[in-house]
Amino acid sequence: MSSYQTALSRKILMRGDIEEIKTAAERAAPLTNQLLTFSRKQILKVRDIDLNRLIKTTEETLQRLIGENIEPAAVYGKDIWGFF
């Protein structure tokens, strides 16, 4: 493998890492806001929650934490009402 190919491979791997870091930061921001709101004893804003999306993101996070040997399985619902 040439040095150019090696550098290109590293750049591609880094891009994936950067995207994962960005996604983690985007998920952490609402949690941080919730914790700050709780610590200030403020009232939270009520909003709809898409349960299928919540399960999907939780499943992705869980997969990264538990590794490749265990595969989580989720069952998604159809026509699920939003929760507040």
pLDDT attached to residue 82: 59
Where along the chain do its domains lie? 1-42, 46-84
Per the listing, tokens 């989580």 go with 72
Instruction: Tell me: pLDDT of 37 over 70.
Output: yes
pLDDT attached to residue 8: 58
Instruction: Tell me: pLDDT of 7 over 70.
Output: no
pLDDT attached to residue 38: 82
Tens of pLDDT, residues 42-82: 776 777 778 888 888 888 888 888 877 888 888 888 876 65
pLDDT attached to residue 46: 73
Local structure of 68: helix, strand or coil = coil
d(CA 23, CA 60): 11
